[in-house]
A and B are shown apart, each in its own frame.
Chain A
Amino acid sequence: MSENIEKGSFGVQGTGDTSGFGGLVRTTVAPGSTERPYGGYFDHIADELERAYPDFADAIERVVIDRGELTMHVKRERLVEVALKLRDTESLRFEVCLGVNGVHYPDQMGCELHAVYPLLSMTHNRRIRLEVSAPDSDPHIPSLVEVWAGNNWHERETFDMFGLIFDGHPGLTRILMPDDWQGHPQRKDYPLGGIAIEYKGATVPAPSERRSYK
C-alpha cells in the first residue's frame, strides 16, 4: 500500500500481519489492457462503437477485460461524445447510466482521480464500464447530466467526496457533507476520524487528539 495513503487513527497499520512472518513481499499487478478478441458480446460492442464513432481509436485509451467485465478508458475531453454514441446507437443502446463513482489513486502521476461509470443496456441486457481520469492539479471532467439526467446526484456525490469538478453540471454543490465542509473525505490523503468537529459553537477535537490510539 502506498505511503501517500493517510491511515488515520483507526484500523490496523500495514498489512495487519501479527504472526511475525510478514516479511514476504508480494507484488500485485493490476490488470493491463486487453487485445482482441475480447470474447462474448464485448467484441460486438467494440465493433459497433468503432463503426458509429470514427474517432474511436483516439478517444478510447485502452480497453480492459477483467473478470468478465469490459472497461473502456476514455479521454475526458471525448467523454460526452462517446456517451452519446453509446446511448443513441441502435445496436448499443446503453440507455441507463448507474451513476458515477470516484477512485483516488495518489500514485498514478498525472491521472490521480478516476471517475467510473457503470452503463446498462436494458434493450440488449448488457453492461460495460467507462473510466475517465483527471490529474489532481486539474480535476475537471465533463458532466454527463445532459446525457443521463440521473447522474445529477451521483456527480454531486463524487464532487463532494473527491473534489472532481464536473464541468457543465447544473448545480454542482455538496450533497452528503455540510455545505461549508473543508476537504473531500473519500480521497486517500484525507484521514479517517482525524477531523475536529465544530458543533453549535463548541469544538470536539479529533479522536487522535483526545487520547492515544496508536
Chain B
Amino acid sequence: MTTQASSRETTEGRVYSVTGGDWDSLVTEIGQTKEERVVVNMGPQHPSTHGVLRLILELEGETVTEARAGIGYLHTGIEKNTEYRTWTQGVTFVTRMDYLAPLFNEAAYCLGVEKLLGITNDVPERASVIRVMMMELNRISSHMVALGTGALELGALSPMIFAFRERETVLDLFEMISGLRMNMAYIRPGGVAQDIPEGAVTKVREAVKKLRTNFKDNEKLLVGNTIWMKRTQGIGYLDLAGCITLGVTGPVLRSTGMPWDLRKTEPYSGYENYDFDVITTDTCDVYGRFLIRMQELEQSLRIIEQACDKLDKLQGAPVMVADKKIAWPAQLAVGGDGMGNSLNHIREIMGESMEALIHHFKLVTEGFRVPAGQVYSTVESPRGETGVHLVSDGGTHPYRVHFREPSFNNLQSTAAMSEGGMIADIIGAVASIDPVMGGVDR
C-alpha cells in the first residue's frame, strides 16, 4: 500500500498534511519544490512540545528562521470561574492552573486573600511551616517532571524513569498529608485544610533520606554526560538583558548568573527563617538551567529538613487562623475513602450544637466577606514568579482573579532562544523553559 502525503494549493503556497507513516512521500514531494522556505506546524499534538503547545516554525533547511508559539488549546476559563464562587472555593480552581505546581498556585492565591483580609500576621506558624514543607516537596516533584520529560524529549529515556520514581515518592507524601496526589486544595485562606496526620514528619524525614540517595542516579546519568552536554550546552541562549526585558524569572533567569529568588528577596511564609542557597550558573543555556534544577533539589531537601524540625517543636499548635468568621468550620480528616469532614465535627454540628450547624452552613454556603481593594502577591514557583492580582468589591466572591503565570510569560522567550538555531535544538530550549500548558492557558 502506498500512502501519500496529501497536498493542496493555498494563497500562501502549497500545504502538506502528514499523518502517521507517510513521511517518505512528503520528503520526495518537498524535494521537488523550488521553494527553500518551509513553514512547519509542530504540534499542538506532538510528543516533544511539552503538552498542547503549537510551534509554528519557518525553516530554511534545518535552520529555524522564525519560531512562534500558538497557545490557548488548554484554556479553561479558571479566572472567570472563580468570580462565581466564594473566596475559599477559589482555591479549588486555581490549584488546577499549573497542575505540576498546585501548591504554589494555592499559596500565591491564599497569601493574596490573607493580605486583602489583613490577616497575614495572624496565620499560625505551624500553618506557615506546613506550607513551606509542602511547597518544597512540590518543587521537587515539579523539577522531576521538568528533568524527566526534558531528557525524554531529547531522547534520553532512563532519566525519565528515575525522575518519575522520585516524583512518586513525593506524591505519596501528598496523598498521606492531604488525601490527594495533585490539585489538593490543601492551602486555604487563613492556614491549611487540616493538620498533618500523626507520624507524617517521620515519613517525610525517611523520604528525604531516600530522595537524597536516589537523586544521585540521575546525576550519574546526566551531569557530565557527553551526549547530554552536546545536546544542551550553548543551546537556547538567553542572557540577562533578554530575560529582564522579557520578564523571564525562575531557573532561566538564574542561569544568567542573577541570584533572583523571591524566597530570599521578598520572603513569605517565614522563608527568612530557613537556611538555603540560591543556585545560579552563568552559562545562559539549557545545560545551566538543567544544573540549577538538579541542585535546587538538594536545597529543597534542606528546607524540608528544617521544616520537619520546626514541626516537631510546634506539635499540637493550630493550623488555621483563630478568627472563626474566616476559618473553615469543618475539621477535615483523611478517612478510608479520602478527605472529608471529620466524624467529631459532624457529631458536634448534627447532634450537639445548633449554633455550630448554623455557623458551618452560613460560612460554607455564603463564605466570608473580603474588604474592597486590590493586592498583588507573589511566590517563587518552580518556574519563576507566580503573581496573583486579586480585586475585591467587598463581597463574598472575588471580583477579579488574575494569575501572572511564569509559564505563560517565559514561553514568549521561545523565539529569542531558538531563532537562528537548528530545529532539533528548539526542543531542548522549550524543555528548559519548562512550560506547563495548564498554567499557560489557564
Footprint of B on A, CB under 8 Å? 1, 7-8, 10-12, 15-19, 26, 28-31, 66-69, 71, 95-99, 101-104, 116, 118, 122, 125, 127, 129, 148-154, 157, 174-178, 185-186, 192
Contacts and interface: CB of A to CB of B under 8 A. Distances in A.
Nearest to A19: B362
A150 B409 contact: yes
* Centre residue among A96, A103, A174 by max chain B CB count within 10 A: A96
A70 B399 CA distance: 20
B409 A153 contact: yes
Nearest to A71: B374
Given A16-B366, A149-B245, A185-B77, A178 B72 contact: yes
Interface of B: 71-72, 75, 77, 79-81, 83-86, 115-116, 118, 244-248, 258, 260, 265-266, 358, 361-362, 365-367, 369, 371-376, 385, 387, 389, 391, 393-397, 399-400, 402, 404, 408-409, 411-412, 441-442
Given A67-B116, A98-B404, A16 B84 contact: no
A98 B365 contact: no
Nearest to A152: B412
Contact of A127 (B376, B400, B441): B376
B258 to A, nearest CB: 8
Contacts of B85: 11
Given A69-B375, A153-B408, A176-B441, A101 B389 contact: yes
A152 B248 CA distance: 13
Contacts of B81: 10, 192
A99 B358 contact: no
Contact of B365 (A10, A18, A66, A95): A18
Given A18-B366, A176-B71, A28 B371 contact: yes
25 contacts: A7-B84, A10-B81, A18-B366, A29-B394, A31-B373, A67-B116, A69-B375, A69-B376, A71-B374, A95-B244, A97-B247, A101-B400, A102-B402, A103-B374, A116-B374, A118-B376, A118-B404, A122-B258, A150-B412, A153-B411, A174-B72, A176-B442, A185-B80, A186-B79, A186-B80
Contacts of A96: 244, 247
B404 A99 contact: yes
A13 to B, nearest CB: 10
Contacts of A104: 400
A110 B71 CA distance: 33
Contacts of A69: 374-376
Contact of A28 (B245, B375, B393, B442): B393
Contacts of B75: 176-177
Contact of B361 (A18, A102, A118): A18
A184 to B, nearest CB: 11
Given A19-B361, A28-B394, A192 B115 contact: no
B441 A17 contact: no
Contacts of A15: 366, 395-396
B365 A67 contact: no
Given A10-B84, A103-B400, A152-B412, A98 B362 contact: no
A16 B399 contact: no
A71 to B, nearest CB: 7
Nearest to B73: A176
Contacts of B393: 1, 28, 30
Contact of B247 (A11, A12, A148): A148
B245 A148 contact: yes
Which 3 interchain pairs have the tightest Cβ spacing? A28-B394, A150-B247, A11-B84
B434 to A, nearest CB: 17
A97 B409 CA distance: 11
Contacts of A97: 247
Contact of B260 (A18, A122, A186): A122
Nearest to A96: B247
A15 B81 CA distance: 16
